[in-house]
Structure 1
């Protein structure tokens, strides 16, 4: 089978989402399709911002809240209706904010609570909703809860975390995603005990069996909901429930940790309690990273009668784009399978990138200069024409690409740094490891936003926390804003098309040419309305034959000047 061989990173992450109202879509939808109940949160377009990399205003090389405020008019111009912010809470920053030391304060690098309040007002004035990232599978080891818990076995916060007394010997192995040795138990001499950390040792896991801990978390959610935020993403929440007897797991734990960590007994109880205590009492969205290990578990999370969450952020595509390439037929099969499963009950999100992946065009498209713009437009066309709520990641509206790091010293991501140490300890070929890391690292997706061709791409007046990609002189907002045929303006046309045509939101999806190795083709149909989407995922000109081409002749979207019946390399066409 022919394989697409652009540069790629690890693929889709999983999560689950319930959403907030959008000022750019009706609060009460008036269309229906196939028994699917229309909802405002099904109609929004979400734009994800990594605050550290979006815009710096105080000259420290780190993005901040005032930088987002300065760019609100730009965000509004994109046609999006919600913004998902990665964590902005007080944090020692071991994992770029996913290690929270105070859930009710703002990280000093990002600004103050007053800045946050101004940001929220500015978004709401533009009918843009704000989704907060809540990290409550674990906290920072600098959080006061943990500082107290580790000080004494008698601490009132001791049971906020998972501890194993050392006099009982070493606990059964648990795998850590970020530990350099893959060990999720960290010995702490103060109380002669081990604590559990599924991620880095500075991110101890919270004990959700403890009702006091759960009440603390619900109070945190209420704090932000009362401020007026419109949603929550619950990071890594599928791992929150644990068997606290910590039995021995099979030897394949490290390779198949999802099977042993995700969706354990008690998780649904916690979510239903959270829904009853907080989510159902506010007009908010909630995002729980993790939609289960199969369709049954996904439906148990998001079906309306479960009173848990609303939207599946499907993880099944995580292994599609790889270093070396991927098969388009696999992509079609996975996305079509998920769409079919949720066609009548539940709801999906659609995304191709986020902060835990490398750049969209480098993974899914072709980031060589000859094809970068065309393939980025194609990928955004796919993202915004599929059924489900689309999530666009900052910079992908420009076609930003992977950065080319050569040495481990270039990386800031704890997963890359500790992964390198672990690979060394395992005796792996380190040149090959670095070559693959160059393609797959999360740092690729976290480089500074490219605003202009000025110093540091207009992101900062000082050297940024991560280097700016060398292609910023040509790939930037200022240049693309002035070019009617740019990736940016194509993105705007696609958001406008989706916002104006409910067939792209609720319409039935039908895959065409399932075995074609270069073309992804499908229709969206709602009542009498139908659109045909044709996407050439290759660097070759392709001829196709479809009966729909005789019926649907009006071009709604095209990333080339013309459509003659043939598809040019990476051409994307929407016909109606």
Structure 2
């Protein structure tokens, strides 16, 4: 890297890395059953190496009945047969490490599957593991004003809490004659982290994986681990719009994570990123997780920018504008600049495709995919590339409910249709198609062959019809493709300290289509100019961005190929950006 003396920078490998997220079910199938597998990831390790990524985040491959596509874990230390074997997983780790690519695993410990041995034993009221989950007696149905569809006659769920996947957050268990809490699907009972033995068992499991040689964890909904002190008795009866505020960032969460850090993580050179569900995350709360005196996490995934265009329900969406998006990113860039570190993402397995959401997936698909990639790779933080993002993959044109597989799409829709809240899928199709998590879960598009080269069998979910145009094989053959552009972006982090560690400053915050910012590290600066529109836009360089006539100016990267690589300082006085044009200048 170029830049200032190493002693002046608080370096870490995970700050300089680019992380590639693999959703294995949809990545590459080698046995023809229509489901991606570990052998399929091994087959594509050279592809990852050619792209230049530094780390892989592997979504769950553990034993699971797949109520929530692997996020309902039945055995933390076994591999789902559908994905392969532990021996294949070991080989994958070796293949990645042989290429200096690290591996982080998904840690899902807010809940387990109801088929996990812990929960099976917990169903016995006399079991020593009864308190490993949240069990409660029901209440007299005549005394409450909410309905439940299960349980004995005359008995209602303990309260009116609703699952994040729709429907009650309590399920009745006939064997126990009590109700258990599940903040997500009914097959995902919540672990009781107040129980010391639960925490010890989780920490032992984490240690087991670290001993196998992994390089860290992505921690699923980790800020939900500490439930309100009232549970499992005397808890408040809140409307559903208070659920997230009730369970997020609970009273003992920092105690639990601090204990985790001390027992397992401390002293190891790991990447740990915590997924934080919250409608609004105060910056002081974020720093408690990632700051120098915090809980020891490397970074968090917040959702503030992911909520700009979302309504209360999956069939509702809102308009977003660029000033709001800039404001969110700027808040986090500035808020964690001195104490903490950012994760940078615009899509993942739980979000729609970013080029369909924040770009133009039609006429300017290629340009806007490159522009969004430029944004993520030139802000301060660690970029996360979700599989297919580097190709400019788009949302899927779902035609009916039969096309979906995601419980977070199907459950709320079916409940709303049954209750009469919405008429049918057709009446809300546009918003659901824009919002569904299944957009990210359609198969990776490897080639123009049948099923996009993903499988020789019938894929578990539909392949996007545009795979003949958008696929890895054609993109790698085209030097002007999104794939090659991403390769260039990733290489910049190796070449320039300022790309990783430079201080961010935003200009033109209220401009409706331009995002202009600088990154500064000692005498080095980046000037990043992005046009988020279908319309050419001219602007004068902000006065605060001073450029001396003696400064060396280089055009580092851009998504149009006719820009002067070494412009004079005067050439940056006035700029005219074409539709979805991105330019990054290096000033030294």
- Name the TM-score, length of structure 1 as normaliser: 0.91
Give 2:562's aligned residue. 562
> Does 321-330 or 376-385 show the bigger shift?
321-330
Tell me the CA shift for residue 348 of structure 1.
1.0
Instruction: Report the Cα distance in structure 2 between the residues aligned to 1:325 and 1:474, rounded to whole angstroms.
Output: 29
The change in CA–CA distance for 1:421 and 1:244 in structure 2 (over 3 A counts) is: farther
Where does structure 1 lack aligned partners over 5 or more consecutive residues?
A: 1-24
Judged with a 3 Å threshold, the aligned counterparts in structure 2 of structure 1 residues 490 and 325 are, in CA distance, closer, same or farther, namely farther
Question: 2:376: which partner in 1?
Answer: 383
Deviates most, 424-433 or 403-412: 424-433
Q: How does 1:96-175 map to 2 (within 5 A)?
A: 96-150=69-123, 152-166=124-138, 170-175=157-162
Following superposition, the deviation at residue 125 of structure 1 comes to 0.4
Is the alpha carbon distance of 1:209 and 1:403 closer, same or farther for their aligned partners in structure 2, counting shifts above 3 Å? same
- Looking at structure 1, the residues matched to 296 and 379 of structure 2 have their Cα atoms a distance apart, in angstroms, of 25
* Matching residue of 2:314: none
CA distance in 1, matches of 2:515, 2:236: 41
Q: CA deviation at 1:308?
A: 2.9
2:513 to 489, 508, 518: 518
| Counterpart among 282, 285, 290 of residue 294 in structure 1 | 282
Q: 1:428 to 1:31 in 2, by over 3 A?
A: farther
Q: Secondary structure at the match of 1:110?
A: coil
Q: Which moved more, 1:557-566 or 1:510-519?
A: 557-566
Trace 1:547-558 onto structure 2 (pairs within 5 A): 547=543, 548=545, 553-558=553-558
How many Å separate the matches in 2 of 1:396 and 1:31? Answer: 35
Query: Which string of whole-angstrom CA distances, capped at 9 and with x for unpartnered residues, describes residues 300-328 of structure 1?
Result: 11112234322132322121245464200
Distance 1:283 1:51 in 2: 25
Taking a change above 3 Å as real, the CA distance of residues 442 and 561 of structure 1, as seen in their structure-2 partners, is: same
Residue equivalent to 2:150: none
Instruction: Find 2:494's aligned residue among 458, 482, 499.
Output: 499
Compared CA separation, residues 324 and 471, structure 1 to 2 (3 A): farther
Who is 1:65 aligned against?
38
1:184 maps to which of 154, 169, 174: 169
Give, in angstroms, the shift of residue 507 of structure 1: 0.3
Residues 224, 277 of structure 2: 8 Å contact kept? no
- 1:342 equivalent in alignment to 2:315: no
User: Is contact 1:509-1:522 (8 Å) kept?
Assistant: yes
Aligned length in residues = 543
Note the C-alpha offset of 1:342: 1.0
Cα gap change, 1:504 to 1:200, in 2 (>3 Å):
same
Write the deviation string for residues 31-90 of structure 1: whole angstroms up to 9, x where unpaired. Answer: 646xxx322221111110100011000110100001010100110111110010110000
TM-score, with length taken from structure 2: 0.89
| 1:291 positional shift | 7.2
Structure having the higher Rg: 2
SS of equivalent to 1:264: coil
Structure 2: tracts of 5 or more residues without a match: 141-154, 311-316, 565-574
Q: CA deviation at 1:227?
A: 0.2
- What pairs up with 1:121-520 in 2 under 5 angstroms? 121-150=94-123, 152-166=124-138, 170-179=157-166, 181=167, 183-246=168-231, 247-249=234-236, 251=238, 253-290=239-276, 293-322=281-310, 323=317, 325-368=319-362, 370-424=363-417, 425-430=419-424, 431-520=426-515
How far did residue 491 of structure 1 move?
0.5
The change in CA–CA distance for 1:53 and 1:549 in structure 2 (over 3 A counts) is farther
State the alpha-carbon separation in 1 of the partners of residues 102 and 388 from structure 2.
Answer: 19
Shift in CA distance, 385/103, structure 1 to aligned 2, threshold 3 Å: same
Determine if contact 1:408/1:434 at 8 Å carries over to the other structure: no
| Alpha-carbon distance, 1:458 to partner | 0.8
More contact order relative to length (CA 8 Å, sep ≥ 6)? 1
- Secondary structure of 2:361 counterpart: coil
Specify the SS of the correspondent of 1:191: coil
For 1:144-163, what per-residue CA distance to the aligned partner results, in whole angstroms no more than 9, with x for missing partners?
1111111x200121111000
Deviates more, 1:316-325 or 1:471-480: 316-325
Aligned CA distance change for structure 1 residues 257 and 165 (closer, same or farther; 3 Å): closer
Give yes or no for the alignment of 1:532 onto 2:527. Answer: yes
- My pick for the range that moved more, 101-110 or 283-292, is 283-292
Q: Is the 8 A contact 2:274 2:299 kept in 1?
A: no
Q: Please state how far the C-alpha of 1:200 moved relative to its aligned partner.
A: 0.3
